[in-house]
């Protein structure tokens, strides 16, 4: 790779392009992402000599040898236990009771329960699967077309990585050296804004097409129904309560909060007699499969990120982009475009590990707060969960219902539009991400 000072740009050689081409080809052949990243990283290291191959094993181990990563399997397991114990249905009952006074109430309840599930599991795919199985059939019975019902669940489940605690924020915090607890606190308002945007979108669409029939409850009926529902299912909210209070009060680290949530959820399952010892092998296996997808990606992405850093790609990218324009507004739009495009074709974890070190210097160059950058990045990538060709949530709900992915994606367009509006607000209004943080981060 040669640095051209006069043109203020970077001329990349085959030590960069060949691994990129290999990565694209392997992904097109449906090779697991971690294997594609690992192969590309090793090729780049061999061709560039950026890092001795003898150190790759040590680099892989260092990539996952972090206490913060322990929170990931704990939050995923909490979500699995929540579904097994039936507590997730209590969330749906409460969400339905909260929204039954409005037209389109069950659609709004579906979005709310996605947010509630997100506040525990930190995984969008898990939320899409769990909520989809509970709600899509009832949404269709209520009058919603099946493709729209699938799109509604897929969009609501995007909050899985946007509302804390979130696996994505744990990973980006690890990559950029930022406290996950700080990112959780910063993500609270933006995550709620995304949830509200999905709610508003559903209300507007429902009013236009009148999908959900029937008359809403009167205020008195609503109050009585809500009181009864909360009385019978209040204990389900102990789990998110413990997580939020523990993390945001500073009494628990994300890992400790996840461990506490798992224990409390298991105890509640035994107490309610909805959980048996025979359920544990399936729960642990299911959680292990999810973790087994995430951690290898993190491990193999680290050598690749190190090679890119040694080759000067992040600095070169900044120089190349700023040579085109130094207007911060244009550069922010460019970053958002890159992130959304990346989110359309690749999973969140590799996007974070590869793109965060490359785009962070550009954000620093235009004076963007590092916390705001992290929130903008994760929120932009979150939009990719309901956009083809990857659109992980689209595949999840399609797998549950057998509905065409293209039909679901078409119905998801209004949700994508409103979510993009929130992304733009996050990108241009720093206070949205920093209001809840101590003054040192503002």
0.95 exceeded by the pTM?
no
Q: Residue 356 and residue 156: Cα distance in Å, rounded? A: 25
**Per-residue pLDDT at 5:** 41
- Which pLDDT belongs to residue 8? 41
pLDDT score recorded for residue 32: 82
Q: Does 119 score more than 90 pLDDT?
A: no
Q: Dump the DSSP string for 183-218.
A: HHHHHHHHHHHHHHHHHHHHHHHHHHH--S-SPPPP
107 or 221, which is more confident: 107
Per-residue model confidence as pLDDT tens digits over 312-354 = 778 777 887 887 888 899 999 999 999 988 888 777 888 898 8
Residue 6: its pLDDT value, please? 34
Q: What is the pLDDT of residue 2?
A: 37
Is the pLDDT at 4 greater than 60? The verdict is no
More confident residue, 395 or 150: 150
Average pLDDT of the segment spanning 40-66? 78
DSSP character string of 71-123: HHHHHHHHHHHHHHHTHHHHHHHHHHHHHTTSTTHHHHHHHHHHHHHHHHH--
Average pLDDT over residues 25-43: 84
Interatomic CA distance for residues 164 and 255, integer angstroms: 13
Name the pLDDT band for 103 (thresholds 50, 70, 90).
low
- The percent of residues in the chain predicted with pLDDT above 70, rounded, is 92
Q: What integer pLDDT is reported at residue 442 of this predicted model?
A: 59
- Tell me the pLDDT band of 101, cut-offs 50, 70 and 90: low
Identify whether the C-beta of residue 183 lies closer than 8 Å to the C-beta of residue 169.
yes
Instruction: Dump pLDDT digits (tens) for 189-211.
Output: 999 999 999 999 998 898 888 88
- Rounded average pLDDT over 293-311: 80
According to the model, what pLDDT value does residue 292 have? 82
pLDDT, tens digit, for every residue of 168-181?
999 999 889 898 88
Q: What percent of the chain has pLDDT over 90?
A: 24
Determine the pLDDT at residue 146: 94
pLDDT digit string, tens, across residues 384-425 = 888 887 778 888 898 888 898 889 999 999 999 999 999 999
For residue 115, which of 233, 44, 197 has the smallest C-alpha distance?
Answer: 197
pLDDT at res. 70: 86
The closest alpha carbon to 394, from 206, 107, 132, belongs to: 132
Q: What is the pLDDT of residue 441?
A: 62
Q: What average pLDDT does the chain have?
A: 84
Judge whether residue 212 has pLDDT over 60: yes
């Amino acid at each position: 790779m040669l640095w051209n000072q006069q043109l203020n740009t970077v001329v990349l050689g085959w030590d960069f392009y060949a691994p990129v081409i290999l990565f694209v080809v392997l992904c097109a052949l449906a090779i697991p992402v971690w294997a594609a990243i690992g192969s590309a990283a090793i090729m780049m290291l061999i061709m560039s000599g950026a890092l001795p191959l003898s150190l790759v094993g040590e680099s892989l181990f260092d990539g996952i040898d972090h206490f913060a990563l322990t929170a990931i399997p704990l939050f995923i397991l909490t979500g699995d236990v929540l579904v097994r114990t039936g507590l997730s249905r209590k969330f749906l009952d409460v969400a339905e009771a909260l929204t039954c006074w409005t037209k389109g109430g069950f659609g709004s309840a579906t979005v709310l329960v996605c947010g509630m599930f997100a506040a525990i599991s930190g995984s969008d795919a898990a939320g899409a699967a769990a909520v989809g199985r509970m709600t899509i059939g009832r949404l269709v019975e209520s009058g919603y077309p099946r493709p729209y019902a699938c799109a509604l669940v897929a969009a609501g489940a995007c909050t899985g990585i946007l509302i804390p605690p979130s696996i994505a924020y744990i990973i980006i915090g690890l990559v950029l050296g930022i406290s996950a607890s700080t990112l959780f606190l910063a993500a609270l308002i933006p995550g709620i804004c995304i949830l509200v945007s999905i709610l508003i979108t559903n209300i507007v669409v429902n009013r236009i097409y009148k999908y959900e029939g029937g008359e809403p409850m009167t205020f008195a009926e609503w109050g009585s129904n809500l009181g009864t529902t909360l009385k019978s299912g209040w204990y389900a909210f102990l789990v998110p309560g413990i997580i939020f209070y523990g993390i945001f009060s500073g009494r628990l680290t994300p890992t400790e909060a996840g461990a506490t949530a798992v224990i409390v959820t298991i105890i509640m399952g035994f107490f309610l007699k909805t959980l048996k010892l025979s359920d544990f092998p399936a729960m642990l296996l299911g959680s292990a499969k999810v973790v087994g997808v995430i951690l290898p990606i993190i491990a193999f992405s680290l050598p690749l990120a190190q090679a890119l850093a040694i080759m000067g790609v992040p600095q070169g990218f900044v120089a190349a982009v700023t040579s085109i324009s130094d207007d911060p507004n244009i550069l922010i739009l460019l970053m958002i475009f890159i992130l959304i495009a990346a989110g359309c074709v690749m999973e969140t974890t590799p996007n974070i590990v590869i793109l965060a070190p490359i785009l962070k210097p550009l954000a620093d160059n235009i004076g963007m707060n590092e916390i705001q950058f992290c929130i903008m990045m994760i929120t932009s990538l979150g939009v990719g969960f309901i956009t083809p060709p990857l659109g992980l949530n689209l595949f999840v709900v399609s797998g549950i219902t057998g509905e065409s992915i293209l039909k679901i994606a078409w119905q998801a367009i209004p949700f994508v539009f409103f979510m993009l509006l929130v992304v733009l607000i996050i990108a241009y209004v720093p206070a949205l991400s920093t209001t809840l943080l101590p003054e040192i981060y503002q």
